[in-house]
Structure 1
Amino acid sequence: MVAVVRGAGCSRGYSGRRYMRKLTYFVATTLDGFIAESGGADPTQSGHFLMEGDHMGHLFQHYGDTLPFMAREALGIAGELTRFDTVLEGRKSYESGVVQGIPDAYTHLKHYVFSSTLTEAAPTVELVAGDALAKVKEIKQQEGLGIFLVGGGGLAATLLPEIDEIFVKQHPTVMGQGIPMFNGGFSPDRFELADLTRFDSGVLFLKYQRRG
């Protein structure tokens, strides 16, 4: 059973390219707020993130834009993008795909990778070496659908002032230690719960919007 609870601040949703662009931090976490194991190991391989259950069908149906192209092809997801057309990624998150032989997991999106050390990437990826906040402000002014940050925690901490929404896929597991959602120094900020979807798998989808 899927239970949905909507907060008072819930958005009325997306309306194509007329919708004001927002940056959404779209991230999976454990109960104790970790997005990856220490050293960057994939939590799906150790069972920290549940890859089976009713939450997966909901993710495929409503958030197919955020899936890597391999998953979209396997699921037969095609057609126009509905929520997001741009993805942001940090170096470590990007390199975790490269070592698996996937130089660009998001060929269906405009893909930016932020790094001061990377000198090359897939032709479909745009490297950003300069001021990350300034670049994101520029991207948000361009025409398009939503923008989502897929990882990692260090880039999320840097971009916090420009994050409009935080979409948390919270798994009912505890990691104990690892890479936190926001990994680095930043000023505390306030968000409010706008949407909560509860699944029989024990996973929660929580959407928070920047307060005010």
Structure 2
Amino acid sequence: MIGGRKVGVFAAMSLDGHLAEPNDGLDFLASVQREDEDYGYMAFASRVVGYVVGRRTFDVVTELCGGQFPHAGKWPIYVVTSTASDRSDMDGVTFGSLENLASWLEANTPETQGDGIIWCDGGGQLISALSDQIDEWTLSVVPTLLGAGIPLFREGRPSVRLLAVGAASYDSGLIQLRYTLAP
């Protein structure tokens, strides 16, 4: 929990633990894309009350989507950055430091009750920094070995014990693992 809010990760990664290819590409995800399968994304997204993303991930996704961040306007968004931003043109998007995240969540998102959740959407640097405060993990493992890329976890993070709460396999070869923070 951060600022009294439940935090969750919903991410896809290669079998060798990479969120993206070395050039920030996501082409490896195409091998598991199916028109009739969202791998639980819509159910997860229906619970989101706020969104936290690292600056690099924000910039890459914004570029891939033609200059528009796809989640802008859906939820309050906090972009964790160590540099000032000139992107003040996006409604509902705040840029700030990791140190100010908890106070921003308290001021801009409702307390998470029931299934409500703050979505922490990486990248690896942000997820590693918050790994001991993330309550729910949904990790979709794509059957691809990238060999290099942006890792889900960085060295030097705290040790965190998790409890397995579910797993699912799909015809595409994707395996989805679900964990919660152990008490």
For this structure pair, what is the TM-score category when the shorter chain's length is used for normalisation?
A: 0.7 to 0.9
For 1:127, which of 95, 114, 132 is the aligned residue?
A: 95
Q: Where does the alignment leave 5 or more consecutive residues of structure 1 unmatched?
A: 1-19, 66-81
1:85 CA drift (Å): 1.9
Give the letter for the 1:146 counterpart.
I
Counterparts of 2:18 and 2:75 in 1: how far apart (Å)? 26
Alignment of 1:40-51 (within 5 A): 41-43=24-26, 45=27, 47-51=28-32
SS in 2 for 1:151: coil
Counterparts of 2:62 and 2:33 in 1: how far apart (Å)? 25
Q: TM-score, normalised by structure 2?
A: 0.81
Pair 1:189-2:153 in alignment: no
| Structure 2 CA distance for partners of 1:85 and 1:141, relative to 1, 3 Å | closer
SS in 2 for 1:50: helix
Counterparts of 2:153 and 2:106 in 1: how far apart (Å)? 22
Query: Number of residue pairs matched?
Result: 173
Correspondence for 1:118: 84
1:142 CA drift (Å): 4.0
Correspondence for 1:156: 127
1:99 CA drift (Å): 2.6
For 1:34, which of 15, 18, 25 is the aligned residue?
A: 18
Q: Where does the alignment leave 5 or more consecutive residues of structure 2 unmatched?
A: none
Q: TM-score, normalised by structure 1?
A: 0.71
Correspondence for 1:102: 67
Counterparts of 2:101 and 2:92 in 1: how far apart (Å)? 22
1:59 CA drift (Å): 3.1
Mapped contact 1:55–1:203 kept (Cα < 8 A): no
Residues 127-136 or 196-205, more deviating: 127-136
SS in 1 for 2:95: strand
SS in 1 for 2:158: coil
Mapped contact 2:49–2:110 kept (Cα < 8 A): no
| Structure 2 CA distance for partners of 1:105 and 1:189, relative to 1, 3 Å | same
Give the letter for the 1:85 counterpart.
V
Mapped contact 2:78–2:101 kept (Cα < 8 A): no
Counterparts of 2:40 and 2:141 in 1: how far apart (Å)? 13
Counterparts of 1:173 and 1:130 in 2: how far apart (Å)? 32
Counterparts of 1:123 and 1:141 in 2: how far apart (Å)? 15
SS in 1 for 2:154: coil
Pair 1:56-2:37 in alignment: yes
Counterparts of 1:140 and 1:110 in 2: how far apart (Å)? 7
1:163 CA drift (Å): 0.7
Mapped contact 1:132–1:159 kept (Cα < 8 A): no
| Structure 2 CA distance for partners of 1:125 and 1:141, relative to 1, 3 Å | closer
**1:102-156 CA distances to partner (integer Å, 9 max, x unpaired)?**
3422121111100011323223201122515644774798424211111100011
* Identical-residue share of aligned pairs (%): 26
1:89 CA drift (Å): 0.3
